[in-house]
Chain A
Amino acid sequence: MTDEEASKQERINQYINNNLKTILADLAEDEMPDEITDLLMVLRAQDEQMKDKK
């Protein structure tokens, strides 16, 4: 691969990586669904109950 081709490939890779980072960042900003927050509450409550029993 020539220097020019390597540079072009690097730009393509960077373009792909940056677009993917944007997509992931957008997805990560989605509000957490109620099912997950409810599940976390249940799991924490169960942990507390277990601690109390001990």
Chain B
Amino acid sequence: MSVMDPRDELVTHLPAVRAFALSLTRNRTVADDMMQDTVLKAWTNMDKFTPGTNMRAWLFTILRNNFYSSRRKLNREVADVDNTYSDRLAVKPDHDGRLQMSDFKVAFDQLKDEHREALILVGASGFSYDDAAEMCGVAPGTMKSRVNRARAKLTEMLHLDEDDVLELTDVETLSVVGSPNIPS
């Protein structure tokens, strides 16, 4: 059985790594800068990657470490410790009661970085709580708590706990919910 060269394997993960970078930074220029750093670091440290382990998790870890490291250096994040900003941005369903994907994106962008990251890793990328916790350097319980808080915040902002909201999602969303083509 032939084993893929790890540098070739790295290239196959780049679309997913870039999607993670974009969801984390919410800014194409910053995401692409981080992608370049990540590719460079991974390529030049390929001898530190253990064959047979999860390369995507390794690349995501390098990228998120870059992100938090540069964020600390630049101190760019606007503090929102009491969530007053997020609370004001609560999304109401459209006049016909349907939730649009655009509403969801607006709400998701309001989550704290750590909460967005937790949902992307566990909810969308299929990493286990243990793996996601290891990637983020926290305890599994902390990761579970972040996922639960992120879900609770989205539920609150999108009023998902109101009985009729999920019944009245738009056609696009319904087709997505039923789609078998979503990558895990």
Binding site for B on A (CB under 8 A): 8, 11-25, 27-30, 32-33, 35-36, 39-40, 43-44, 47
B101 and A19 contact, CB distance less than 8 A: yes
Asked if B86 CB lies within 8 Å of chain A CBs, one says no
Nearest 5 A/B pairs, CB to CB: A27-B19, A20-B124, A28-B15, A28-B19, A17-B123
Which chain B residues border A36 with CB–CB below 8 Å?
A: 14, 18, 32, 35-36, 39
B166 and A23 contact, CB distance less than 8 A: no
Q: A-side binding surface: helix, strand, loop or mixed? A: helix
Of all chain B residues, which has the CB nearest A30?
B18
Of all chain A residues, which has the CB nearest B103?
A19
B7 and A12 contact, CB distance less than 8 A: no
Within the complex, the shortest CB–CB distance from B32 to chain A, in Å, comes to 5
Within the complex, the shortest CB–CB distance from B94 to chain A, in Å, comes to 16
Which chain B residues border A44 with CB–CB below 8 Å?
A: 7
Q: How far is the CA of A23 from the CA of B108 in the complex (A)?
A: 10
Total B residues in contact with A, Cβ cutoff 8 Å: 39
Which chain A residues border B19 with CB–CB below 8 Å?
A: 24-25, 27-28, 30
Binding site for A on B (CB under 8 A): 7, 11, 14-16, 18-20, 22-23, 32, 35-36, 39-40, 43, 101, 104-105, 108, 119-120, 123-125, 151, 154-155, 160-161, 166, 169, 173, 176-177, 179, 182-184
Which chain B residues border A20 with CB–CB below 8 Å?
A: 108, 119-120, 123-124
B11 and A40 contact, CB distance less than 8 A: yes
Q: How far is the CA of A25 from the CA of B155 in the complex (A)?
A: 22
Can you sample 26 A-B contacts with CB below 8 Å?
Answer: A12-B151, A12-B160, A15-B166, A15-B177, A16-B123, A17-B123, A18-B179, A18-B182, A20-B119, A22-B179, A23-B23, A23-B101, A23-B104, A23-B108, A24-B120, A25-B183, A27-B18, A27-B19, A27-B23, A28-B16, A33-B35, A35-B36, A36-B18, A39-B36, A40-B39, A43-B40
Q: How far is the CA of A11 from the CA of B174 in the complex (A)?
A: 13
